[in-house]
Structure 1
């Protein structure tokens, strides 16, 4: 029984590929279902369920190459973890909300739920790639399988899914994985979980093995900082200065976090992520 179950679990590599956003296979769901307010991140107010005025008929962004210059910085840092194409092509089987308007309300309701599930899949997949977290790999593989099964639910079931409970269950596994990985630095790990480090002067700081879960690092100076084997899940890197910083072995770091930060060619990042196009050369 257990061998058959293991064989049915998607491989981490295959899962990670499915978690990379493919806007060309999506019906512009983030541009419609999400709400945003005029701010430093968005030039206008937009309620949930209303298409962004920049969304074209083919679901492409009409100002994609000019988003930052036109006041839509928030769009450049958003990442759906592949939830958009999943909802568009699998949950709704390729029926778009314009051609099939009866699907619109349900599609827009399901998208944020799917996005949360895909984010969890990203973290679980990364934890499975951490050799030092091997003691919890079996439980993580089971969690991966359960979460994958949830993403395959019908729209009606997804809409009422208790995501917070599922997230808490997985978070306990991720915490255990984090402790195993960071145990390489006994007695000196910095626990800054949820810390207010806005604008903090951390240039050249040794943050190896640090717990920075949910830390507020907005506009922090992390130039030249060593963040290897640091747990960065949920850390807010908006406008954080990362020039020369080493994040090569940092874990639970997402593309959205990098996109929100300020780095350059000297910033070292994990191989699973890409250097943001707007970073300085």
Structure 2
């Protein structure tokens, strides 16, 4: 397999990556044969996966606009992935001139492409970091200089916590980031779920959890996702299927079986 010039040497392009597989679902081009092969296996058992990724991105647009309207202009996007059209900084900058975004990801290709895309954008920065090490992220000089943690921040955990196993304490990780913020800050979570009996969701989870998988997945039900917010005030309509979180147009009955949940909480 030929290595493109933009791929960092430390990247194993023979193994699929969460960020690059998701890029493929969204129709992006920064993925390799191993990513595409794995994604096609998931699409075989869960053909809606590309639609799921697009609905997730539509939710991201809705929540960033909502937060800007509430006066929240700082965004800490954890597990931000590979930049595609409609990313947080594009949405936020269209809504509020002073928006600041810090993208954080542990995938070297996501970091490389984010930095290349955002070169010269003083309102947006990119940090190589792992959300399972919150203090390293929160205490990093880039975080401290790019974000003002004495003002409200939106902590975005979009389509990422289902890759954090129970033994790493995802609720505690969320709490660590929340504790670094001030009142008026928000936490945004979307999460894969097999609740509702969607057989394809279980099959997709099994693919992610195969032996030696670099991307083990832990789907959670609505009660488990609510628990990730701890004692924060969860905004209406609560933890719901992603298309049902304040939709901008009517949604069909199939949304009730949608294999993903969304919730937003305010500190």
TM-score normalized with structure 2 length: 0.30
- Structure number with larger C-alpha Rg: 1
Structure scoring higher RCO (CA < 8 A, sep ≥ 6) equals 2
